[in-house]
Copies of this chain bind each other. A is one copy, B any other.
């Protein structure tokens, strides 16, 4: 699949690098961008040549500035022309569900995703980062759950996911209700990002290095780990334990366990079959 606003490269074996690629507009989101983003992760999910993914924004100034307001004005206008409230509501509900589905494709991607943020990271930046496994950023990153400032509750996932990702609900409610900026240090203090690097280059290097580490592990083990972590986020402990037993009872019957144990003893690097 060829993308216009998404760039996918392979900087190391089994590692994919996905970039939001509309840097002249601070990677602001138009419909084609989020559709391509969803397609990219759906495709990578079962790409047996990929075992870990880094997601970042092209250009020096922004991970993303969020929704492109010019574009948003267009489909808001389309909605306004409809017959009555119920029909406008139906239009918008389908629209929001479609946008959510594009972002959820990142979370549902079978491969772990490391999000590397820098510069302007507003609105959809937080929605997207919440769909990834590990979040790191450069020290210049400026975050905000910005939606309240444009008269909206955030509807692409920040309100659903952010509270489950960090330490302090008092902090979450404060930044969501005031729409105020927060910086890299504050993001790390509450656990939103788990590492801050001096600049974008260093953050990207760190993220790619982590991806390379993960890509050298058994893909069966890595996929199972991601799957079970997400299962746990949405289920009781008892349910996840049972699901885990069913999952692993089969997954354990792979050649990777033997290969990993052998490599451990022989101090060699194991090779795993494609998944």
Contact = CB atoms under 8 A, between A and B. Distances in A.
Contacts of A252: 76, 86, 92, 152
A172 B255 contact: no
A83 interface: yes
Contacts of A151: 218, 220-221, 254, 256-261, 272
Given A177-B222, A236-B234, A255 B83 contact: yes
Contacts of A229: 159, 163, 172-173, 176
Nearest to A247: B246
Place the interface of chain A in its size category: 35 or more
Given A168-B192, A172-B229, 20 more contacts: A46-B94, A76-B252, A84-B255, A85-B88, A86-B254, A88-B253, A90-B220, A97-B245, A112-B173, A134-B170, A134-B177, A151-B254, A151-B261, A152-B248, A159-B229, A166-B168, A166-B169, A178-B213, A190-B191, A246-B247
